Each structure stands twice: as structure tokens, then as C-alpha cells.
Structure 1
Amino acid sequence: MADTSFDLVVIGAGPGGYVAAIRGAQLGMKTAVIEREHLGGICLNWGCIPTKALLRTAEVYHLMQHADQFGLSAKDVSYDTEKVVKRSRKVAGKLAGGVGYLLKKNKVTVIDGEATLKGGGKIAVAAKNGGPNEVTAKHIVLATGARARTLPGLEPDGKLIWTYKEAMVPDTMPKSVLVIGSGAIGIEFASFYHTMGADTTVVEIMDRIVPAEDEEISALARKTFEKQGMSIHTGAKVEKLDAGKNKVKATIQTADGKKEEKSFERVILAIGITGNVEGIGLEDLGVKVEKGHIVVDEWSYTGVENIYAIGDVTGPPWLAHKASHEGVICVEKIAGVNDVHPLETDNIPACTYCNPQIASVGMTEAEAKAAGHEVRVGRFPFQGNGKALALGEDQGLVKTVFDATTGELLGAHMFGAEVTELIQGYGIAKTLETTEAELMHTVFPHPTLSEMMHESVLDAYDRVIHI
């Protein structure tokens, strides 16, 4: 590579990094991205995308097992674990290849290697494939992502005790699984393995599962998962894991303080993530790190001249779409775009792809009340929706929270089939600062699941029709 001087260098090519690089190139910056492992980062290769492929397999398998409910017959339904994993990896590989194409199309230079900040815009590169040893940049965006967090006594071994990475590529399907942690990652894996036939136990240290969600949705999710056959312990913790030859013995302290020992074929750790802040020279340059994440302002600026950070390395919410949007905002601010606005985290939808799905945006009912709002709350159950009944998906709820004085939509919370697709309707509404009046006047098509969104709004104002 003859030219090693750039306007913008992005370190990390995940959904935050590669989007920032493409946007920088679109704005006329001479741009490079340095990636040490995979284009597309964890999300495309070991996170969002391959897990959804696995969950889709589980969904189809579940439907085949219940074919008689639809007047169909499917005998001797089974699966091939190797083929299940192979399909997931193929989907991930296709998208990662697509990222390479997009970067090339936008004339972004891709450097394979590991980057270290040296100050003064210089970046040392431990390059692969004959790349440069050093590049310089007027502006540097850190998008190094995050990795699974571990706790003493609960360290993964890659064989019996898994992080998300091993859980995505099982060589055989375990008969029993312990999932430690019930956030989005934990519940998605619990849902997948349970649906595929594993005896699944979830242990959550908080007093409810999916604790970031609205309490009513959390309670409904727990009731549904337990009805499916999952074993769930909240207010509990795993004190110790002892890996044997083929099984892991877990010491679990339950909510009442009692301790019990139980053996599982596999354990999946889903106890959070921590930013990839080590080994990139942050300390030498004075970039501030707190609780394993880089500290930034609303424009992703670290406070150190010309160094920015976006995505998971900067902390919650740890969402790919948040990272991508941050990347665009950050680069547009650097480029001097006039109408760029800081990211409103309250408008970022959150999605969990368990079965049934969970999705939300904005404040929970409790958060809205704690913030001083007098609220109006609407609810509509899936059982009252014709499309849901036709799909055989009658378990779920749509809940909306409004400010009683202004009519502002404060939050929306959903549990049920395809709610991860529906939530963006409320996301747009919040971004447009929509009130209940606009939502009531919107015509929703029939028959659709989206009608429940309308009915929930109507319910908040005592105008609901179909319950």
C-alpha cells in the first residue's frame, strides 16, 4: 500500500465501524478501516445474525412438531445439529462478504491487522497479508466492540462451559443446559436450546427475567417460558461451577438462601459484556475508561484531540443499530454536516428474539412514574387479534405508556410473535414526537398484528374496540 495517510481511520469493522467508514467516504473523506478479525464484527459473525438463523431453525422445528394444529401431518420430525450450525455459519459468511463489497464499492481502504494508537494521529498496525506497519489519520474512530464478561469461579472452558461463541456452534445438542443470565443473549439461547429439546434452566441474579424490560412484560414472559417447560430461578446466583468429564456441577443459591447442586451437560454464560479497551494505547493518550468502557460525549468525542469512540466499547445500550447510528452521527459531526443531532437513546428500540419475542422502546411504566409523569397505560392482548389467531400465535401483549397531560408517547412494550418487526412503528412515532391523537387517527391495515398497536393506544384512552 503506497498511501498510508487518511482523513479518517476507523478501528474495528463491526456494525458501528464499517457504517462509520462508509459514511465518511460518502462525505468525501479519504477513509480506511482496520480490522483484526472479521469484517462485520461480532454482530454479523458471532452475534445478531447467526443467532437469528439458529432461532429461525428452532421456530420451524417447533412448527413442524405442532403441524397437526394446522391440519398438517409431519411424522418423525428430527434435525441434524451439524446442518443446523452449518446453515447459521453460511448466513453469517454471506453477510460478512457483503460488508467487504460495500466497503470496496465506497472506496474504503481495508487493512487486516491489529491497531495501536501512538498519538499525533499515528496508528501502529500489526498487519496481516503484507499491509502497512503504520498509518496516519486526521480523525480516528474507535469501534473495537466488546466481549463476554466472566466472573471468578464461572470461567468458560470452551468445552462444557460456554460463552455465546461456543453456544452458536455445538457439535452435538446437549440434553441439559444451564443459562446464567436472562438478558437478551441469555433468553435467546435458553429459547433456542429449549425448543431444540434440551432441559433448560435459567438463573438470574435480579428479581425478574429480562430485567431491562417493563415489569408486566417480564412477568408475562416468565409465565410463558415456564409453561413451555423451562426452569427459571430469579433472585438467585450460581456460586460455583465444577466441570467434570462430560457434565458440569453447578452450585445454585436460590432466592430463599438455600443451596442446591445440579448437573448439566452444558453451561452458557450470559452475564454481560465488557468493552475491548485493552492493548490499543488508550492509557498512554489519556483516553478515559470507566467500568470497562470508553467515556465519550454526545458526539462520541473522547476528549482527546481527534479521537472518537462508538458502539459497544462505549457502553449500553449494547445494540448493533445503536452503534451504526452513532457511527453516522460521529462522522457527520466531524465532517461539519449542519443538521446532525445527538442520538436520543430513549428512541432506540430493543429486541429479544426468543419465542415469543420481546420488543420495547422508551420508558417502562415504572420509569415514567419515577420520572414524575402522570401516565395513561393501554394494553391489548394477542388473543383479541384475528391475525394472531390465524397464525396460531395467541400468546402476547402490546402495552403503551403515555403522558396523561401532553399525550406524549413515553414508551411501548411488546411480547409476542413478530413484535421485533412491529416495534419500529412506535420507534418512528417517538422520533416524530407523536401524541396519542396522531396514532389514533392512523389507519392500520386489517388483518395484521399491527392492529394491536392501534388498539393499545385506544385502550389507554378508554376507546378500545375489540376487547
Structure 2
Amino acid sequence: MSDYDVVVLGGGPGGYAAALYGASAGLRVGIVESDSMGGTCLNRGCIPAKSLLQTAEVFRLANHADDFGIVPKEGSGEFTADWGKVTERTTGIVDRLVGGLSGLLKRRKVDIMHGRGVLRPDGLVAVDGQAIDAKSVIIATGSAPRTIPGYEVDGEQIVTSDHSTRSPARPERVAVIGGGVIGAEFTSVYTDVGADTTLFEAMPTGVLPVGPDPELAALLGKSLAARGTKIHAGVRVLPPERSGSGVIVPFEIPDGSDKIEVDQVLVAIGRIPVSADMGFAEAGVELTDRGFVVVDPKTMGTRRAGVYAVGDVVDTPGLAHVAYAEAIVAVKAILGEKPTPVDYSRVPWVVYTHPEVAWVGLTEPAAEAAGYETEIHRYKFTGNGRAMIIGDTEGMVKVVAQKDGPILGVHLIGPWASELLAESYLAVNWEALPEEVGAFIHPHPSLSEAVGEAMLAFTGRSLHG
């Protein structure tokens, strides 16, 4: 008899979701994690990064309190950010969530094994050399930050996002290399808490060069620049030089070269799968040239029978909620059920910058490239009463639909775009018509009215647009 029905390698979102879902279905589950339960997302990524972004929002709002009629008492000065307390708050949130997750796993009777788990050629799992027998294995080993040659990470002057979420001090001058999701979010944090922030992006389009609708990415870039971020797009950074007081970052520009001196460099050029030296290839699990585990998306199964893979170790969108969905697919396949594969073209995306950017479905260029005849409508938050009340009217809702057909994509930039996306996610995935969503009643005053107004415009009539 096997020790377990399923052993999960990795305790991040994909791993713990697989363990919890499998245990709730009656499977005997063991989970192996060499670090803290929760993986990168909970300990060094999603949760602590968003905590810092919330701090930045509070700081920004506090320094505009007089817009709401709130003024400091006589003799008091401007607000400052106590980075020690910021880090303490973030750590407290992470610790509570890690503790809650560990407790939930134990209540589901999932065995937690702390150590380094590898896959053996015979299909067994070895945890620090001890063999563990399982009918099935789910690989959920996650990802790690990519680095740049010459930018050796030391955790102090040259860092990755792993370090930035737990930094004991805020750098006064910071260079962010990479304008993707991670780079954009940290740029937003540092800019809003008063750091002298410079963003470098190799692609000429600048911030968020891949993913969102280009129109929204451009609006985010303009917003960051207006708040003081120096953005260098279409440039190549050269190996750094150490100075007595910091790091000198040279970079090439179209008509020559330049350099800046900063206290800290954040390398944010993406992530790579954690699959090396894990025994995967030796056990018959196929890997791509970039180290991703190859799976059948209908089951998340690998070429090795009984071995599945989910999350960042698979070449699918590196999002925690995608890992959750893939974990459910894998567990259902193990149970002999017929899982519904993840539709990666209709996954919800959010970038938690200020303003927030969120989208689902096709962008305008992607819809046109796919051959659709499109109809586009926008509604700006400047006309939304709730946005005026909260003092945040920057941004808009953009809806891409097939002409006389269903909604193909919804793209938001503005206040609480992350929370407004759910309605749009349902609309895109259910292939709703814009006029059907436009007929929904949205509470007034609310930010959600902006979505309804954009949809209503497809009827040729409008209320406030």
C-alpha cells in the first residue's frame, strides 16, 4: 500500500491548493516544502508586495488629506514613511496567513513534510533522502527571480523582489530594471513613498510592454511619469559600477549612453521555473529548453504516468489564481473525473499599481489580429460620482466587442480595478453581449457604474456618457 494517494512537491499556491482540494475529496495527501508554507506568493511575492502597495496608497492619500478638508494641527509637519513599521506590518500579515494555511492543511489531515523533495527515477519522492511512496505526484515547485549577467544579487545594493518585500529600509534612490508586472508594481510603491525612482525597460513601449491593452499601459506610464518616475524605454542597461555611496547604472540610449547613481537596483525582469536538479528529466518528465515542465493541459499530466505539474513550473500565466485552477484540474484527473481545462485566453489579470490595471480577454490589437471586426467603447472615471467622492478619477473602462457580437475583452485602469474585474470576467467567459451587461442595474454611486456605462454605449444610447 502506498504511503499516500498524492504527494505534492512545493507548498506555494499550486501546491497547497492541490493538497487542500485533494484532501477535501478524501485523498491521503502529503506536501513537501523546503521553505515556509505558502511559497513565493505568500512569503515574498503577491501578499507582501500588495501590502507595500497599500501602504503607498495610504501615504499618498495622507499627503492629499487637505483635498478632503483634513488638515494637520498647527505645528505638525508632513507625513513620513516609517519603513520599519511598514515592514513589521507586512511581516505580520504574512505570518498570520502562513499560520492559517498551515493550520488548515493540518485540519484537512494533510501531512506537511519540511525538506527538499526530489523525484526519483522509479517514480518515488525522496525528501532529504527518505523515500516516500505515492500513487500520484504533483509537481508545484514554482519559480525564482531571473537575474542579469553582471548584476550579481547581494540582497542589499542589488536585489530582486524577494528582498524588496522585506527590506528594512526604503532606498532614497532606486533603479528598477524591467517594466513588467513586478517592476511596475515596485516602481509605483517607491514613487509614491517618495523615493527617487528610475525605471528601465528594454522594449520601446515602456511600462507593461506585454499583456494589457497598449492604450492602458500608456496611461499607466503617463501616470507614473506625472508622479515623478523617470522612465527610460527602449534602452539596454550595461554592467553596473560600484561607487562609494551606491551603484552606478550605465545604459545605452539611441544617440549614445548615459548613467545614473542609485542606492539600490531592483532587478525585475521576470521569473524562471524551479526545475533544475529535481530529478524530473531522470524520472521521464519532459522539460522545455527553458526548464518548464511539459504537460497535457487537459489533465496537467506529464509524460511520466502518475506525475502532474501545476503553477509557475509550467509554461502558463504565472499567476496564483491560475495555479489554483490548474491544481483542481490535476486533482480531478487523479480522481478519474473529467476536469474542465483552464482557458488561458480568458484568465483575469491585475497589476496592483496606482492606478490599478486589470483585464480579461482580448486586447484591441489582439482582436484585430485574430480577424474580428470590432466595436470599442470607453467610459472615463472622471464622470463617475463615486470616483469623485474617493478623490480618484484617473482611468477608464475600455470594452472590446465583436461588432454585433459578444464581448471579447474588458480592460480597466483606475480605482479598485481589481475588484471591478469580476463582472467583466463572467461577461467575457459567458460570451455575453454588451447590451446584456448594460441592462444590469449597478448600485449608485459606485465605481461599477463605469462598467455598466461602457456596456450601455454599445446600444447607441447612454446615460452619463
TM-score (norm 2): 0.96
Is the contact between residue 378 and residue 458 of structure 1 (CA under 8 Å) also seen in structure 2?
no
1:220 corresponds in structure 2 to: 219
The answer to whether the 8 Å contact 1:378/1:461 transfers is: no
Question: Separation in 1 of the partners of 2:291 and 2:19?
Answer: 24
2:149 aligned counterpart, secondary structure: coil
| 1:428-439 alignment, distance < 5 Å | 428-439=426-437
**1:68-87 aligned within 5 A:** 68-74=66-72, 75-76=76-77, 77-87=79-89
SS at match of 1:466: coil
The residue number in structure 2 matching 1:201 is: 198
Q: In the alignment, which of 120, 123, 129 is matched to residue 121 of structure 1?
A: 123
Summarize deviations over 1:362-396 as a string: whole Å, max 9, x none.
11100000011111111000101010011100111
User: How far is 1:461 from its partner?
Assistant: 4.2
Do the aligned residues in 1 keep the contact of 2:276 with 2:291 (CA within 8 Å)? no
Deviation at 1:230, TM superposition (A): 0.7
Query: What is the match of residue 130 of structure 1?
Result: none
Q: Is the 8 A contact 1:214 1:365 kept in 2?
A: yes
Q: 2:150 aligns with which of 149, 153, 164?
A: 153
Structure 2 distance, partners of 1:440, 1:414, is 16
Partner of 1:328: 328
Q: Tell me what 1:190 maps to.
A: 187
Pick from 147, 166, 174: which aligns with 1:177?
174
Alpha-carbon distance in 2 for matches of 1:321, 1:59: 24
User: 1:4 offset after TM fit, Å?
Assistant: 6.9
Contact 2:376/2:400 (8 A) holds in 1: yes
1:36 aligned residue: 34
Q: Quick check: 1:373 aligned with 2:372?
A: yes
Q: Which residue of 2 aligns with 1:281?
A: 279
Distance 2:284 2:122 in 1: 13
The corresponding residue for 2:352 is: 353
**Who is 2:111 aligned against?**
109
Contact 1:400–1:460 (Cα < 8 Å) also in 2 = no
Matched AA of 1:136: D
- SS class of match (2:17): helix
Check the 8 A contact 1:398/1:452 in 2, yes or no: yes
Q: Greater CA deviation, 224-233 or 69-78? A: 69-78
Which residue type is aligned with residue 101 of structure 2?
Answer: V
* CA shift in 2, pair 1:191/1:419, >3 Å: same
Retained in 2: the 8 A contact 1:9–1:140? yes
Q: Structure 2 vs 1, CA of residues 391 and 81 (structure 1 numbering), >3 Å: closer, same or farther? A: same
Structure 1 counterpart of 2:22: 24
Counterpart in the other structure of 1:259: 257
TM-score, normalised by the number of residues in structure 1: 0.95
Residue of structure 1 in register with 2:160 after alignment: 163
Pairwise CA distance, 1:123: 0.9
Contact 2:157 2:264 in 1 (8 A): yes
Could you say if the C-alpha distance between residues 459 and 243 of structure 1 is closer, same or farther in structure 2, counting changes exceeding 3 Å?
farther
Q: Which residue identity lines up with residue 183 of structure 1 in the other structure?
A: G
Instruction: Name the CA distance, whole Å, in 1 between partners of 2:326 and 2:316.
Output: 12
Give the deviation of 1:121 after TM superposition. 3.1
Deviations 1:205-259 (CA, angstroms, capped at 9, x unpaired): 11221122101101111111111111111111212212334311001112x2421
Aligned Cα root-mean-square deviation (Å): 1.4
Aligned to 1:306: 306
Preserved contact between residue 177 and residue 267 of structure 1 (Cα < 8 Å): yes
Distance in 2, matches of 1:18 and 1:224, equals: 37
Classify the secondary structure of the residue corresponding to 2:103: helix
SS at match of 1:331: helix
Please give the secondary structure, in 2, of the residue aligned with 1:445. Answer: coil
Deviation digits for residues 40-97 of structure 1 (CA, Å, limit 9, x no counterpart): 1110110111111111111111111111000001342122111110110110111011
Q: CA deviation at 1:28?
A: 1.6
Q: Distance in 2 between matches of 1:41 and 1:159?
A: 22
Residue 455 of structure 1, aligned match among 442, 453, 456: 453
Segments of 5+ residues of structure 1 without an aligned counterpart are: 128-132
Determine the C-alpha separation between the residues in 1 that align with 2:117 and 2:156.
Answer: 30
What amino acid sits opposite 1:332 in the alignment?
Answer: K
Other-structure match for 2:393: 394
Q: Match of 2:236, as an amino acid?
A: K
CA distance in 1, matches of 2:436, 2:386: 24
Deviations 1:308-345 (A, max 9, x none): 1000110231100000111011101211224x210011
Give the CA deviation at 1:119: 3.1
Distance 2:411 2:233 in 1: 21
Structure 2 residue corresponding to 1:417, chosen from 415, 418, 423 = 415
- Per-residue CA deviations over 1:142-197 (Å, capped at 9, x if unaligned) read 00000000121223221101100111122222111100111111011111111111
Residue 119 of structure 1 aligns to a residue in which SS? coil
- In structure 2, give the amino acid aligned to 1:16: G
Q: Secondary structure at 1:413's aligned position in 2?
A: strand
Q: Does 1:243 align with 2:242?
A: yes
Structure 1 residue 446 corresponds to structure 2 residue 448: no
How many Å separate the matches in 2 of 1:24 and 1:308? 13
Which position in structure 1 is the counterpart of 2:230?
A: 231
Quick one: distance in 1 between partners of 2:415 and 2:399? 17
Q: The residue matched to 2:61 in structure 1 has which SS?
A: helix
Q: How far does the alpha carbon of each residue in 1:102-145 deviate from its partner, in whole angstroms, 9 at most, with x for none?
A: 11111111111111111333111117xxxxx1101111000000
Runs of 4+ in 1 over 4 A off after TM superposition: none
Distance 1:377 1:334 in 2: 43
In structure 2, do the counterparts of structure 1 residues 196 and 287 end up closer, same or farther at CA, with 3 Å as the change threshold? same
Please tell me the residue identity of whatever aligns with 1:44: L
Alignment of 1:426 onto 2:424:
yes
